[in-house]
Chain A
C-alpha cells in the first residue's frame, strides 16, 4: 500500500512516499508564501519523479505549520508525533529526538514503541531555530549551506550572548566591525543555538540514543556544538530534513 506524508514547514515543504513501510522517495522545496500551493506542488513533483499517479496513493497525512491548509489529505497530525514516528522508523533504538526547524525547535522523548513520552518546544522566540541561522547568514553575507563546514575551522568561537535574534544580529555586526573572523562568528552562532536547544533538551530529560532531525541537522557545526553541550553523541540520518514527512507517511499507513 502506498502512503504519503507532507510536512509544510515555515521555510521548506517536504514530501515522502512509502510503499508498505519502505521509503520510495522524498522531496524538499521552499514553502514560499502559499503553504497550500507548496503542499500540492511538492506532492505532485514527487509523484512525477517516482512515476506514480495520485490515485495510487491510498492515504496522506499532513504535518508542520501548514498542516491544516492542504485539503486533499486524510488527516493532519502535529510535527511532534510525526518526528517521533519518523525517527523511530529510521532507527527503532532511538529514545530522544531533537528537531530544529524553521521557526521551532523541539526535544522529544520516546518510549520503546516510538510513542511520545514527553516533549518541549521553544518559547515564542526565534533564537535557536533555522530562521535564526538564516538571519545570521544574511548578516554575514555567507551561504547557509557552507555554514557547518566553515564553523569546523574555527579556532576560538566568538561569544554571542543575546537571547534575541534581532539583538544577536547586531552583536554579529559589531563582531564583524571588530574584525572577528567569519568562521569564529559562525561557530559562536552555533554555540548560541546549542545553548538554547540543550536547555530545552535537559528540561524534557532526553535519554540516549539521540537523533537530530529537521533542516538544521544538515549543519555539522550545530550538531557538533550540541554534542559538546549535551555530552552525548547525536546521530543524524541522511533523511533528517524529511523525517517529519516520513513519520506522517507511516501514520498514514496506520489510519483506518
Chain B
C-alpha cells in the first residue's frame, strides 16, 4: 500500500516538473488532486471545506484543502451526476436536496465519480455564508468519516454589516485557529498566515483583472471560459501557483484584446449569466448562444471569488477576512445583489441577462425575479429564466430550454434592430 502511495508521490513530482514547463490548468488540478490523495505519505492533513469558506488558514497550516463543491462541479461536467444523485436518493436523501450534496454524499460511499472519490478528510470546515444546506451536509460527512467539524457561522447581511456581526465572526476566527492547531498538533505561524493572505488577495486581484478584460468588444473570453479558469481561485487561493497562472492568463487575454480576437467569432450581442453553471450542459449552452452571435461576457458566479476585496485590509488580512467572508454575494440582501448586477450590466455593457433558476441552489435562485424586475426597470434590458440544475440532468429539458433561448435572442435582436 505504501509503495503505491510512494509511486503516486513520484508521479506527482513528475507532473509538477511537467507543469513547470506547460502551466496548464489540467496539470495543476491533477497535481493538486494527486497530492491530496497521497497526503498521508507526506505527513500532511486534508480538510474538506465549503466553496465560500476561509481557506487561507488551512494553507498557512500546510493542510490540503479539498472542495466537495468543486468535486460536485466535476461530477456534473462529466455527466455522472444523475447516477450519483440516484444513489443518494436510494440512501434516503430527498430529490429536493442540493445535487452537490447528493452527489458528494453518494460519492463518499462508492468512491465513484470522475476521480474515484475525494481523498478521505482529516477534518471538515463548513462556512454557512453560501447556504444553510452545508451545515447538515457536513454534519453527515463528519459522522460518516468520524472526523472533527468546524462550523463558521456568518450572519446574513440583509442591509449593511453590523459591528456585532463583525465581532461575532472575528471571534470565531480565533476558534477556527484553535481548532486547526488542535487537529494539526502544531501552532499557527502568523507570519506565514500574512504571506498567504497577501497571495490570496493578489490572486483575487488578478482574477478580477482577468474577468475585467471581457469589458472589451469583442470579449476575449466568455463566462464559459471563466467557469473553467475559475477552479484555481476557488481551490488554491493563497498559493503562488494561482498568482502565476492568472498572471499568464491575464497576459494572454490582453493580447487577445490587442489583436481584437473574441471568444465568439462574430460577437453581436453581450449577455450576463446569473447563478451556478449548468455543468453537464455548458458546452451545449455555449454553442447555442454562439450560434446567435451572443457572448456571455460576464457572470455573477465566477466574480464571487473576488467580489469582496474592498473589505480586505492588505496589511491585516486575518482580521479583515471576517467581513470579507461574511459579505459575499450569496449572503447579502436582494437589493444589494441587484445593485451588483446593475453594476455589471453597465461595466460589461450587456444587452440582456440569462438567469439559471437552479433547483439545487435556493440562496442563489431566491430573489432572481426581484433582481430581474429591478434591472428591467432601471436599465430596461430583458432577462431570460432557465429552469435547470447545476448537476442533476433530470431537471434539464433541452427542447424547452432551446425554445426559450431562441425566443429570447429573437427579442434581443428585435430590440437592437
Contact = CB atoms under 8 A, between A and B. Distances in A.
Interface of A: 65, 77-81, 103-104, 115-121, 123-124, 203
A35 to B, nearest CB: 11
Contact of B411 (A80, A121, A203): A80
B80 to A, nearest CB: 22
Contacts of B387: 123-124
The interface residues of chain A, by DSSP majority, are classed as mixed
B290 to A, nearest CB: 17
B22 interface: no
Contacts of B406: 78
A80 B397 contact: no
Contact of A124 (B382, B397, B411, B414): B397
A115 B407 contact: no
Contacts of B403: 65, 78-79, 104, 121
Given A78-B407, A124-B395, A116 B369 contact: no
A7 to B, nearest CB: 13
Given A115-B414, A115-B415, A118-B382, A124 B407 contact: no
Given A115-B415, A203-B369, A124 B400 contact: yes
Contact of B410 (A81, A118, A124): A81
Interface in B386-415: 387, 395, 397, 399-400, 403-404, 406-407, 410-411, 414-415
A149 B333 CA distance: 48
B82 interface: no
A65 B399 contact: yes
A81 B382 contact: no
B382 to A, nearest CB: 6
Given A80-B411, A116-B411, 6 more contacts: A78-B407, A80-B407, A81-B407, A121-B403, A121-B404, A121-B407
Contacts of B411: 80-81, 116, 118-119
B267 interface: no
Which one of B357, B387, B406 has the highest number of Cβ atoms from chain A below 10 Å of its Cβ?
A: B406
B385 interface: yes
Nearest to B405: A78
A78 B410 contact: yes
Contacts of A103: 400
Contacts of A124: 387, 395, 397, 400
Q: Which of B385, B397, B410 has the most CB of A within 10 A?
A: B410
Contacts of A123: 357, 387
A8 to B, nearest CB: 12
A11 to B, nearest CB: 14
A65 B399 CA distance: 7
Given A124-B400, A203-B369, A118 B407 contact: no
Nearest to B382: A118
A5 to B, nearest CB: 15
B376 A81 contact: no
Interface residues of B, number: 18
24 contacts: A78-B407, A78-B410, A79-B403, A80-B410, A81-B407, A81-B410, A81-B411, A104-B400, A104-B403, A115-B414, A115-B415, A116-B410, A116-B411, A116-B414, A117-B382, A119-B407, A120-B385, A121-B400, A121-B404, A121-B407, A124-B387, A124-B395, A124-B400, A203-B369
B393 to A, nearest CB: 12
A123 B382 CA distance: 18
Contacts of A77: 410
Nearest to B388: A124
Contact of B407 (A65, A79, A117): A79
A43 B214 CA distance: 47
A137 to B, nearest CB: 23
Interface string B303-323: 000000000000000000000
B414 A81 contact: yes
A123 B404 CA distance: 10
Nearest to B401: A124
A121 B395 CA distance: 16
A81 B410 CA distance: 7
5 closest cross-chain pairs (CB), A and B: A80-B407, A78-B407, A123-B387, A78-B406, A81-B410
A124 to B, nearest CB: 5
Chain A CB count within 10 A is highest, among B382, B395, B414, for B414
Nearest to B410: A81
B395 to A, nearest CB: 7
Nearest to B413: A81
A79 B382 CA distance: 18
A117 to B, nearest CB: 8
Nearest to B396: A124
Contact of A118 (B376, B397, B400, B404): B376
B398 to A, nearest CB: 11
Question: Which of B395, B404, B415 has most A Cβ within 10 Å?
Answer: B404
Nearest to A203: B369
A124 B382 CA distance: 21
Name the residue in A78, A81, A203 with the highest tally of chain B Cβ atoms < 10 Å from its Cβ: A78
A120 B403 CA distance: 12
A10 to B, nearest CB: 9
B42 to A, nearest CB: 48
A121 B376 CA distance: 17
